[in-house]
Structure 1
């Protein structure tokens, strides 16, 4: 069977996004080949998101659902449950699609690879007015093992995924609020191939500008995520140590950037237990000792 963009449902979880959702819809409906269905799930917004959506000129073209607030995972799952289309594309309410052939390119790549369950693209992340980061991790086939150490999908808003495969693996885990997307992508990668369109099609804007990865809550969610991935991969011994070490890198980096010595020391102790002592033979041991001695990371951050 040859698919077209008519076989795609776009799912947009919307929470308190009155200031962004109109631009997001504009970017979607500028696609040269439109999807067969657009599903917007209002996730219990407390601002005037509902008013903005209903007042949009695109409102007659979308399927609009309102649910109690359950988080983006629950909202995306609700959207997926509403469609009979074989493919789902995800678009966050504060992201934009910036390539007008995005869906067309992705569905063509899916047609070229019958075993594909997920097609992503490159993405740009804008931090304030000056810093733009291009996320361009390329996948081409069976890549499950890559998910053990990091999320290799460039952006949730870049994803086109098989509806059937999403349902078979249970969708997004609604109990994990940090890394639930990575868990789903990894589960899909166990079942089929992952491929990448090598074009930037998504623009993400960091509206908060903060380092959320340092929070203890997000750390605990990451622990849950990695534990699930390790069980999924059925790895043991040094492989497990390596997986833990690589997954904690992000938290070390953010604690260093935030000049948070107590957080860094706490992470070091946790990493020591999880990574089988490997952290002792890394730069983190030296940075931890320096922070404990000096009381800050000011000089280290200046040298970066």
Structure 2
């Protein structure tokens, strides 16, 4: 970061798609407005909330940097795309309605866009509970910078809300896929990774809230969509990765789903089948063998 400095502040449009998050939304908006980067706008797209969201947003009435757009309930991808379509900035960022930004977020991340090949800059996250108390949680994935397709096709290591993107990514590679109910960020990152570099800023700039009322932990639905997203990406970009890496990506997909089912539903035979499917695709993939051992020991 030393020596990286933008001479002017390009506008950043921050998209917040929300549904029944009135209890947390004002804090999310306020955390964005508290940036030491002044040239920004906040676009809140209310996806048909039935709680007190509209009342809670009245505190921002008259603030020229906040736009509140109530819509009918059409689902997360369409709400986010509405925000993207409304955005005026040269750069786009995101914040989930129950999360928070660190005040230094844009100051830390924006200078990395001095490199014109960089399309996405993302950062590290920390965690809080429903009352804002810190939670210690290990980071699950290794982060990567540069041409990241080879890594990203195996694991989505980009925390969604931490990302800032260049508008040209949208213009060149599209918005969120509205046919996908879940996993829309991984689908977006995979498409962007083909043409753009990603940069990881190791500073913590995003605060993720873990609480009982957040989106359903529907792991079966998540993996159904993950299989669909991987298929879609490989069909549309058949030369993006080599055959060996395709096999590894499919292996990891089966292993991850198997262990999610084993942990979430305390099953054995169905996860075992997934692990064997993973090993058939990449027999040397060590996480598959570790998963197999863990599953058998759990059964014993």
Q: TM-score range by the shorter chain?
A: 0.7 to 0.9
Are the aligned partners of 1:14 and 1:41 in contact in 2 as well (CA < 8 Å)? yes
TM-score (norm 2): 0.83
**Shift in Å at residue 208 of structure 1?**
2.4
CA distance in structure 1 between the partners assigned to 2:176 and 2:14 by the alignment: 16
Whether 2:31 is the aligned partner of 1:27: answer yes
Q: Can you list the C-alpha shifts for 1:265-289, whole angstroms capped at 9, x where unaligned?
A: 2233245446535579724444555
Q: Which moved more, 1:136-145 or 1:114-123?
A: 136-145
Whether 2:85 is the aligned partner of 1:102: answer no
CA distance in structure 2 between the partners assigned to 1:17 and 1:279 by the alignment: 45
Task: Map 1:214-225 to 2 at 5 A.
Answer: 215-225=219-229
RMSD of Structure 2 on Structure 1 (CA): 2.9
Which of 276, 283, 294 is equivalent to 2:280? Answer: 276
Closer, same or farther: CA 137–274 of 1 in aligned 2, 3 Å = closer
Whether 2:198 is the aligned partner of 1:200: answer no
**Shift in Å at residue 198 of structure 1?**
1.8
CA distance in structure 2 between the partners assigned to 1:89 and 1:161 by the alignment: 6
Provide the residue aligned with 1:116 in structure 2.
Answer: 118
**Shift in Å at residue 89 of structure 1?**
0.7
CA distance in structure 2 between the partners assigned to 1:279 and 1:214 by the alignment: 29
Are the aligned partners of 1:73 and 1:180 in contact in 2 as well (CA < 8 Å)? yes
Are the aligned partners of 2:150 and 2:245 in contact in 1 as well (CA < 8 Å)? no
Q: Which moved more, 1:269-278 or 1:33-42?
A: 269-278
CA distance in structure 2 between the partners assigned to 1:9 and 1:3 by the alignment: 19
Q: Can you list the C-alpha shifts for 1:11-34, whole angstroms capped at 9, x where unaligned?
A: 111111111011111211111112
Are the aligned partners of 2:258 and 2:274 in contact in 1 as well (CA < 8 Å)? no
Whether 2:60 is the aligned partner of 1:73: answer no
SS in 2 for 1:114: coil
Which of 228, 250, 254 is equivalent to 2:256? Answer: 250
TM-score (norm 1): 0.82
Q: Which moved more, 1:128-137 or 1:14-23?
A: 128-137
Q: Can you list the C-alpha shifts for 1:211-260, whole angstroms capped at 9, x where unaligned?
A: 966643222111101212333253565433211122234334433443x3
CA distance in structure 1 between the partners assigned to 2:252 and 2:142 by the alignment: 17
Whether 2:152 is the aligned partner of 1:147: answer yes
SS in 2 for 1:74: helix
Closer, same or farther: CA 193–19 of 1 in aligned 2, 3 Å = same
CA distance in structure 1 between the partners assigned to 2:120 and 2:177 by the alignment: 18
Whether 2:195 is the aligned partner of 1:191: answer yes
Closer, same or farther: CA 97–272 of 1 in aligned 2, 3 Å = same
Are the aligned partners of 1:17 and 1:93 in contact in 2 as well (CA < 8 Å)? yes
Unaligned runs of 5+ in 1: 295-304
CA distance in structure 2 between the partners assigned to 1:75 and 1:211 by the alignment: 15
CA distance in structure 2 between the partners assigned to 1:253 and 1:127 by the alignment: 25
Closer, same or farther: CA 213–251 of 1 in aligned 2, 3 Å = farther
Unaligned runs of 5+ in 2: 1-5
**Shift in Å at residue 130 of structure 1?**
7.0
Closer, same or farther: CA 27–276 of 1 in aligned 2, 3 Å = same
Provide the residue aligned with 1:125 in structure 2.
Answer: 127
Are the aligned partners of 2:93 and 2:163 in contact in 1 as well (CA < 8 Å)? yes
Closer, same or farther: CA 95–133 of 1 in aligned 2, 3 Å = same
